[in-house]
Amino acid sequence: MRFAVLASGNGTNLQAIIDAVKKGEIAAELALVVSNSDKAYALKRAESAGIKTLFLSPKEFTNPQSYDRQLSITLKEEKIDLIVLAGYMRLLTPYFVKAFPQKIINVHPSLLPSFKGLQGIKDAFTYGTKVTGATVHFVDEMMDHGPIILQEPVRVSEKDTLETLGTKIHEAEHKILPKAIQLFAEGRLKVKRRTVVILEKEHTNTSH
């Protein structure tokens, strides 16, 4: 299986994926890292690991759909089986999502469906919730909405600051995102309506 990571920033989740591939915890090839920002440290992480990179500038496209059309063409040329969003700060267009049905996964820093959007950690902290966490889910045409694959709860202590809570949530993300990629690679994820069933290894096949 060949997969690509889309990232816009520092790339700590990307690093967790790179490390998991090196350790053999992900039995798949990380074939491409794409960013919409030429300043994304994620690109440097990929280059250091010898992974092919692509910076695709939004300024060169008239609208989000034309951008996503070019991205789609590139990913299909690279024979990508799975697309992983790891801190990718662009909303995917319906066109793109339809081009890769149940082949796009995202990691989000809350226990969805609570605290959707860009400020998931801050919103949970401000709200005063006692438990938050991280979610990996399939991407559909609505933001932070697709079927949930894995979740990892994180307890919020009275001593936590926004920064310490963020650190704990990112550690949870680094734990479950590589695991979800491996489950996909093994053909162990089956979507029934909104529920993702994780199959036992002996029941797997190549369909998702």
pLDDT digits (tens, 9 = 90+) for 112-157: 999 999 899 999 999 999 999 999 999 999 988 999 999 999 999 9
Q: Please count the residues of the chain.
A: 208
Does residue 5 surpass a pLDDT of 70?
yes
Mean pLDDT within 92-121:
96
pTM, entire model: 0.94
Q: For residues 176 and 37, what is the distance between their CA atoms, to the nearest angstrom? A: 25
State the pLDDT confidence band at 203, using cuts at 50, 70 and 90. low
Alpha helix ranges (H) inside 78-185: 94-99, 120-127, 162-185
Q: For residues 80 and 70, what is the distance between their CA atoms, to the nearest angstrom? A: 14
- Other beta carbons less than 10 A from residue 39's beta carbon: 11
Mean pLDDT within 155-176:
98
Q: Average pLDDT of the chain?
A: 95
The per-residue pLDDT for 204 is 54
Domain 106-208 belongs in CATH node 3.40.50.170: yes
Going by the DSSP 8-state scheme, the letter that residue 195 receives in this structure is: E
Task: Write the burial class of residue 179 (CB in 10 Å: 0-12 exposed, 13-18 middle, 19+ buried).
Answer: middle
The per-residue pLDDT for 2 is 98
Catalytic one of 108, 137, 170, 174: 108
Does residue 33 surpass a pLDDT of 60?
yes
Q: For residues 190 and 207, what is the distance between their CA atoms, to the nearest angstrom? A: 8
Q: For residues 102 and 139, what is the distance between their CA atoms, to the nearest angstrom? A: 7
| Every domain range in the chain assigned CATH 3.40.50.170 | 1-100, 106-208
State the pLDDT confidence band at 205, using cuts at 50, 70 and 90. low
73-88 residues labelled b (16+ CB within 10 A) or e (exposed): eebeebebbbbbbbbb
Q: What CATH fold (topology level) applies to the domain 1-100?
A: Rossmann fold (3.40.50)
108 catalytically annotated: yes
The per-residue pLDDT for 9 is 95
DSSP 84-103: EESS--SPPPHHHHHHSTT-
Does residue 63 surpass a pLDDT of 60?
yes
Compute CA distances 92 → 44, 106, 144, 157, whole Å. Answer: 23, 11, 11, 35
